[in-house]
Amino acid sequence: MNVRVRINQREASLDYRQDGETCRFRFESQQERDALVALVEPGVYSVLLDGGSFEARVEEDGEGVCVSLRGHRFAVEVLDPRQWTGGGRSGHLRGRQELTAPMPGKVVRVLVAEGDPVEAGQGLVVVEAMKMQNELKAARAGRVVSVAAAAGATVAAGEVLAVVE
């Protein structure tokens, strides 16, 4: 898919194809490149590119999206919204967020209750899997509309633990 983007007030052409975690892209007239992109937690991505590993943080800022990468912040805006459906990985930044268990495990703590207001990055549920505790966080600010998780319960991968609107 080819889209026009504005990054820190500079317009550019971005051509990309994504298949699972593999992303093939060409920025402007540069050579086509491959990257592996994995969602680590809401709004945080692990990127493997050209033998290097990077963490990218993505946040909505009201006017678009802000990406933090290697100590730099980039304001990113897609210029033709008809080409951007929001059905990709950034869809968790808008609308209803269903917080799901990333893998089978046991709920250790539930940090919120139905009706609680939450901020972006706030912990909602702690799940233990393979002897490691993972705090699952809100991708954006909102209000908890339901909590399906209960401390001590066993959960399956993909099971909805809480919903934020």
> 107 vs 39, which has greater pLDDT?
107
Please indicate, yes or no, whether residues 85 and 101 belong to a single structural domain of this protein.
no
Identify the band that residue 92 occupies on the pLDDT scale cut at 50, 70 and 90.
very low
**Torsion angle of C-alpha atoms 127, 130, 120, 149, degrees rounded to 10:** -20
- Which CATH number is 155's domain given? 2.40.50.100
Identify the band that residue 62 occupies on the pLDDT scale cut at 50, 70 and 90.
low
Alpha-helical segments (H) within the chain = none
β-strand 72-78 against 105-110: which pairing, if any? unpaired
**pLDDT in the model for residue 95:** 64
Cα end-to-end distance, the chain, whole Å: 30
**Torsion angle of C-alpha atoms 55, 60, 61, 67, degrees rounded to 10:** 20
Closest Cα to residue 140, out of 102, 100, 98, 110?
Answer: 98
Please indicate, yes or no, whether residues 89 and 116 belong to a single structural domain of this protein.
no
**pLDDT in the model for residue 63:** 64
> 91 vs 14, which has greater pLDDT?
14
- Which CATH number is 56's domain given? 3.30.700.30
Please indicate, yes or no, whether residues 136 and 148 belong to a single structural domain of this protein.
yes
| 113 sits in which H/E element | none
**pLDDT in the model for residue 91:** 42
pLDDT at position 119 over 70: yes
Most confident of 99-103, 115-119, 158-162: 115-119
